[in-house]
Amino acid sequence: MNVPELLQLSSSYWNTCTLHAGVKLDIFSHLADKPMTTANLAEIIVADERGLEMLLHGLTALDLLQKEGDSFKCTEFSASYLAKSSESYMGHIIMHHHYLVEGWSHLDEAVLRGGPVRKSSSHGTGEKERESFLMGMFNLASLIAPRIAAQIDLKGRHRLLDLAGGPGTYAIHFCKVNPDLKAVVYDLPTTRPFAEQTVQRFGLSERIAFSAGDILSDDLGTGFDVVWISHLLHSESPANSSAIVDKAVKALNPGGLLLIQEFILHDDKAAPLFPTLFSLNMLIGTQSGQAYSQQEITTIMAGAGLADIRRLQLDLANGAGVMVGTAAN
């Protein structure tokens, strides 16, 4: 790294905050269908013209808007992913990232105290923050769930438990790929409306049910051929992660599969970059969460009595990986 790169790294949050402001003010939804002048848009969103024009110029410089004369409009990309009218809208996950910014500004305090400086986003401090988290997870999962579901062989498996499944994205795509599969999405009661609406949107309400409860203290049920745990363990301590995996294994039929997706660290924990930073995100927002290495996940799975533990050969972004193990017969 050189000095210019160091300074660019230090100020890169300027770009991030400009994007977040554009999404929070819903700029892209208004400019997706037709160009508008700053004055026209300022009247609609009740904004100061001078401040809004600065933001519009910043978004243009980021290649998220186009300027023609005195008017601004979305690019093809921003209309597809940042306008609420688009089926590919990614604004929920961007707003989730926005709600994380304040906590990250206190990372030094989290390091000194060894604990969180904000509330967990999954519980949130308000309805908007909780919705951004849950539907943000839907945004992210929608990008990769179809590919993962297509590459994992669940032939002959009939019941799947999507543990802490949020809006049910993975249950949906596993069921789409496997016509004989039925699923249960297990999560907190506050998640039910988001999950049921999402499942209904895909026309799978007859095959995917929702079960409400606390993963650590409540019963998960039994008789499942597959348990899918996606991006849950990182929010918990090693002891709680082991307890969750133990309960998941007890929910499996003999010979059933446990699948765990996480951002997986190398065994020395110094790479890849995203899981190392994600571990800090857990420090900021959870009591004992962290990213785990492949060896740590393997140890947890073996301790629960699983056999044939391995990492599936899937090409996933951000250091993500899927571990699989088989319950004893």
pLDDT for the residue 44:
97
pLDDT for the residue 64:
98
Asked if the structure places residue 168 within a domain, the reply is yes
pLDDT for the residue 118:
82
Strand partners, 326: 257, 307
Q: Are residues 321 and 203 in the same domain?
A: yes
pLDDT for the residue 248:
98
Residue 18, number of CB atoms within 10 A of its CB = 17
Give how many domains the chain has, as a whole number: 2
Q: Are residues 273 and 206 in the same domain?
A: yes
Q: Are residues 55 and 125 in the same domain?
A: no
Element (H, E) at 137: helix 127-151
Q: Token pair for residue 94?
A: 């961007």
Of 65, 89, 113, the domain-final residue: 89
Q: Are residues 63 and 125 in the same domain?
A: no
Strand partners, 310: 324
Asked if the structure places residue 97 within a domain, the reply is no
Q: Are residues 77 and 115 in the same domain?
A: no
Asked if the structure places residue 316 within a domain, the reply is yes
The Cα 240–Cα 226 span in angstroms is 21
Q: Are residues 240 and 267 in the same domain?
A: yes
Q: Which of 286, 264, 287 is nearest to 275 (CA)?
A: 264
Q: Are residues 22 and 72 in the same domain?
A: yes
Q: Token pair for residue 303?
A: 């301790």
Q: Which of 199, 141, 150, 190 is nearest to 170 (CA)?
A: 141
pLDDT for the residue 121:
56
Question: Domain of 14: which CATH number?
Answer: 1.10.10.10
Q: Token pair for residue 14?
A: 């300027």
Contact criterion met (CB below 8 Å) for 291 and 231: no
Asked if the structure places residue 243 within a domain, the reply is yes
Q: Report which DSSP code applies to 266.
A: P
What are the φ/ψ torsions at residue 231 (nearest 5 degrees)?
Answer: 50, 50
pTM of the model: 0.91
Q: What is the DSSP string of 159-203?
A: EEEEET-TTTHHHHHHHHH-TT-EEEEEE-GGGHHHHHHHHHHTT
The Cα 71–Cα 67 span in angstroms is 6
Asked if the structure places residue 127 within a domain, the reply is yes
Q: Are residues 82 and 144 in the same domain?
A: no
Asked if the structure places residue 313 within a domain, the reply is yes
Of 89, 119, 140, the domain-final residue: 89
Residue 329, number of CB atoms within 10 A of its CB = 8
What's the pLDDT tens digit per position in 64-98?
999 999 999 999 999 999 999 999 999 999 999 99
* pLDDT values of the chain reduced to their tens digit, one per residue, 329 residues: 999 999 999 999 999 999 999 999 999 999 999 999 999 999 999 999 999 999 999 999 999 999 999 999 999 999 999 999 999 999 999 999 999 999 999 999 999 999 999 876 555 557 788 788 878 888 888 889 999 999 999 999 999 999 999 989 999 999 999 999 999 999 999 899 989 999 999 999 999 999 999 999 999 999 999 999 999 999 999 999 999 999 999 999 999 999 999 999 999 999 999 999 999 999 999 999 999 999 999 999 999 999 999 999 999 999 999 999 999 98
Terminal Cα-to-Cα distance of the chain (whole angstroms): 53
Instruction: State whether the Cα torsion 35-39-45-48 is positive or negative.
Output: positive
Q: Token pair for residue 174?
A: 């596993």
Q: Which domain holds residue 165?
A: 104-326
Asked if the structure places residue 95 within a domain, the reply is no
Asked if the structure places residue 96 within a domain, the reply is no
The Cα 63–Cα 28 span in angstroms is 12
Contact criterion met (CB below 8 Å) for 224 and 211: no
Q: Are residues 81 and 109 in the same domain?
A: no
* Active site residue ranges: 234
Q: Are residues 143 and 81 in the same domain?
A: no
Residue 8, number of CB atoms within 10 A of its CB = 12
**Which residue is listed with tokens 């994600």?**
278
Q: Are residues 25 and 156 in the same domain?
A: no
Question: Domain of 306: which CATH number?
Answer: 3.40.50.150
Q: Are residues 241 and 162 in the same domain?
A: yes
